[in-house]
Structure formats: C-alpha cells, structure tokens
C-alpha cells in the first residue's frame, strides 16, 4: 500500500475535503492518507468506502519520525502563508503535491521538477490525477523527491531572514 501524509490543524482550509473527493474518484484501496494535526474528524464527511483508508493520527510530537514512515506529502491548502510542512517533507526526501503560490507561499520557491504543483487545490479531478501519478510512477516520484530534497537544502534561515528584512525595507520606503 501507499501512504500519503496530510498535515493540518484546520482540515477544511488545508484541503482535506478535496483529498477525500479525489480518493473517491480514484477508487484505489491501496492508497491511504495519514492525517496529522488537531483537526476534528467529525467536521469531515468520509464515505464508508474510504473509512479504512483514512487514518487520523492526532498531534504528532516527532514529525521527523512520521516523515520517514510515509511515501509522500499532500498539501492542497487553500490558505498557507508559507507551508513549513512542505519544506520539512522535502527535507525528508518525500515527493510533494502542493497548492500553487496563490494558496501556499512556499510554492513560490518551487518548480515542476521539485514538486507536483496544483493549479486549483479545489479541483478533485486534478488532485486525483496527481495522486495517481505519485502512486504509479516510481521514476517521477524519485525525481521529485531528489530535486525537492536538493531545493530544501538550499533554503536557510539566514536567507529567509535576509529576504524578509529586504521586503520590510522596501515596504517602509
């Protein structure tokens, strides 16, 4: 089986409903979603056919251990100023499916060789196609994981601070 990781505290804003719709489209019992965060299962409608493939983990204290035990990250967020979980997953050499930069600020740093980028994170058909690609195409999965890892290594706190200060200075002028 193949295990995607979804991380979020607000399950709706982070995109869980579209993931569930995409899974319904795929109808692939070998694809599972592990959900980490404080979001409440009661707020999400999960069809009976998918009950066994969706796993609510709750809050995870050691995310690095979790990243090592999944196959890919899915982050179809509708609102995320940065998306630290995407960077963390890439640092763990995971292939990533993520919303475009309009919805997830971190995607501004990425290209199509480093992640599968969603044009519309509300589109369950588009998402189902990307899920299927990551699940079925080992070469693509490995390429994206490798290139994503390289990208993650080029992002440092020092550079982020420098770029943030530059933006503040521009705004203040």
Which residue would you say has higher pLDDT here, 158 or 98? 98
Gap between the Cα atoms of 22 and 130, Å rounded = 9
Rounded distance, CA 37 to CA 7, Å? Answer: 6
| pLDDT above 80: residue 101 | yes
Check if the beta carbon of residue 46 is closer than 8 Å to that of residue 20: yes
**Sign of the alpha-carbon torsion through 34, 155, 149, 125:** positive
DSSP 8-state assignment for residue 78 = S
pLDDT per position as a tens digit, 13-25: 999 999 999 999 9
Condensed to tens digits (0 to 9), the pLDDT of residues 64-97 reads 999 999 999 999 999 998 889 999 999 999 999 9
Give the side-chain half-sphere CA count within 13 A for 63: 19
Task: Output the six-digit token pair for 19.
Answer: 């993931």
pLDDT for residue 47: 77
What would the two tokens of residue 155 be? 């992002």
Statement: residue 53 has pLDDT above 90? yes
Q: Quick one: tokens of 70?
A: 């999944």
Task: Kindly state the average pLDDT of the residues 48-72.
Answer: 92
CB 83 within 8 A of CB 75: yes
């Amino acid at each position: 089986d193949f295990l995607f990781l979804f991380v979020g505290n607000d399950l709706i804003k982070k995109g869980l409903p579209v993931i569930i719709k995409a899974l319904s489209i795929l109808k692939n019992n070998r694809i599972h979603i592990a959900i980490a965060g404080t979001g409440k299962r009661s707020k999400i409608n999960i069809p009976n056919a998918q009950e066994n493939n969706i796993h609510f983990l709750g809050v995870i204290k050691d995310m690095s251990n979790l990243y090592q035990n999944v196959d890919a990250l899915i982050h179809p967020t509708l609102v995320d100023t940065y998306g630290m979980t995407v960077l963390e997953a890439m640092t763990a050499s995971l292939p990533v499916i993520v919303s475009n930069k309009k919805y997830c600020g971190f995607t501004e740093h990425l290209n199509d060789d480093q992640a599968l980028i969603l044009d519309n994170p509300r589109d369950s058909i588009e998402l189902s196609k990307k899920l299927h690609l990551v699940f079925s195409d080992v070469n693509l999965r490995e390429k994206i994981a490798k290139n994503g890892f390289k990208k993650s290594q080029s992002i440092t706190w020092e550079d982020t601070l420098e770029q943030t200060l530059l933006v503040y200075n521009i705004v203040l002028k």
